[in-house]
Amino acid sequence: MEKYLGNKRVLLNDILTFTNENCPDAKSVYDVFTGTTNVARMYKHNGFDVYANDSNRFSYVLGKTYLNLNQYPNFSGLNIEKITTPEIDLKERFKSDVAKDKDTLFSSQKVNNVLEKLNHAEHVFNHLNSLTEKVKGVNYFIYDHYTTFGKRSSYKSVRGTKGKRNYFSKENSIILDNILHRTRDWFKSGTISEEEMFYIMTAVIEEATLNANVSGTFHDFNRNKLWPNSLQRFFLKLPVVDINQSKGVIFNADSEELSTSIPAHDVLYIDPPYNFRQYSAYYHLLNFIAIYPLLDDVKDYLSEITFVRGQRMDDDFTSKFCFKAQFMDALDNLIRNTNSRYIIMSYYGGRNHWNHWSQTEEPTDEGFSILSEYFNSSLFCSHNTTSVTKLRQNYQSRAGEKKSIIDEYLFFAEKLCCEATSSQKDKQPNTSKAIDCNTSNAF
């Protein structure tokens, strides 16, 4: 999920170091805008108990696999024979992904132990990857609504232009539809468990992100051609999951409503949206894919999609953090209403609320100054700031795919009078209603 807007993949070690330096006694973290779950995973891997939340359903699916899973899925309900796919060796790809992901710190022995436990999962994934042809009895909803070949993919923009949605190649849409259909059928029939379903869907979401004909978000697509990435074969890969003794809990809720019910924790990690982009709209297709196996009627759900991008608008969630005028009040309410001792906040110094429309070539420091003043207020007894300059890819546009230097800042503050009692720390969070997205409260 490196193409996710604002992802902190390259900053994980910096965030961990900053946390350890400023919160040396911290043992638990609440990642309130978890997104890709990368930061939450990093904390969990390093021994922190983690609560994580995001309003996007696809993030919840990722969290169910990367944070909640307490044993590797064996798919015991499926009797699938060993299938080999010459195009990709899933176990070798798993080892390659581990080698690239230095933060997992998997030893060679651990990798081999994990792969042994995933032996049957490999057969299941190879089976799903082999479903490349159209067959009777399958509704090809992605093909029909989100490719130029579909009968229901036509759009008319507010400017009057007409065309067909072009999110996936013909071949990849067929594979994706087959996988979604098979996974949904297995889950609805009880052949696979909820954990196994989410494990498959994690792989689906991550591969769809790589293969979609988009710049990085799903708010629009290339209308004239298919980018090279979207012509690559759609292959599910085994997610690299580090199962350890640390607690991991994921929520799919409005942070403002949820945060008061999260048990007392040491660190509140905040990485909010810093511009007008509403993430539920920018990642609408991933959110639809995320609940595909849980929908009672997929056709009925798709009957209400609209706009060029093909989003169901009653699925839209509006965050106060996406509005400059509401940002600081929303931040203050979140911090005051969350039972945490320490605050760590990531701040993106590029195009954001305070400099997005700036006439100057260089970003202004207005946002940094406002946040610095806030963390220097009487609400906190201590504070600290560091600058992190990294080479990072920017996927806001195709032109922005070039790697560039991005200035990010990490704010630290300690709240006054917030020592939590052991009874508070042992308290379990209230069951939080997931954001209702016409899924019969699927999550």
Region of poorest pLDDT, from 157-171, 174-188, 313-327: 313-327
When the pLDDT of each residue in the chain is averaged and rounded to a whole number, the result is 88
Q: Which residues of 88-117 are buried (b: 16+ CB within 10 A; e: fewer)?
A: bebbeebbeebeebeebebeeeebeebbee
pLDDT at residue 438 is higher than 50: no
Q: Is the predicted pLDDT of residue 246 greater than 60, yes or no?
A: yes
What one-letter code names the amino acid at 122?
A: E
Flag whether pLDDT at 403 surpasses 90: no
Contact 131, 283 (CB under 8 A): no
For residue 402, the SS3 value is coil
* The predicted structure's pLDDT at residue 358: 52
**CA-based torsion, 305, 135, 188, 54: positive or negative:** negative
Mean pLDDT of the 71-90 span: 89
Tens digit of each residue's pLDDT (9 = 90 or more) over 28-40? 999 999 999 999 9
Share above pLDDT 90 across residues of the chain, in percent, rounded to a whole number: 72
Write down the pLDDT at residue 443.
66
pTM: 0.91
Establish how many alpha carbons lie within 13 A of residue 79's alpha carbon, considering only the half-sphere containing its beta carbon: 0
Q: In the prediction, which pLDDT does 357 show?
A: 53
Rounded CA-CA distance 175/329 in Å is 46
Per mean pLDDT, which range of 243-252, 289-298, 410-419 is the poorest?
410-419
Please report the domains of the chain, with CATH numbers, ordered by start residue: 1-72+248-277+318-443 (3.40.50.150)
CA dihedral 380, 386, 390, 396 (to 10 degrees): 30
In degrees and rounded to multiples of 5, residue 411 shows phi and psi of -100, 140
pLDDT at 56: 95
Cβ(306)–Cβ(232) below 8 Å: no
pLDDT given for residue 359 in this prediction = 52
Helix, strand, coil share (%) of the chain residues, nearest 5: 40, 15, 45
What pLDDT was estimated at residue 394? 52
Cβ atoms of 278 and 42 within 8 Å: the answer is no
- Enter the tokens of residue 167: 């999110």
CB distance 29 to 267 below 8 Å = yes
Window from 120-134, 238-252, 363-377 with minimum mean pLDDT = 363-377
Q: Among 18-27, 221-230, 298-307, 358-367, which is the least confidently predicted range?
A: 358-367
Q: Are the C-beta atoms of residues 431 and 249 closer than 8 Å to each other?
A: no
Lowest-pLDDT range of 189-203, 306-320, 429-443:
429-443
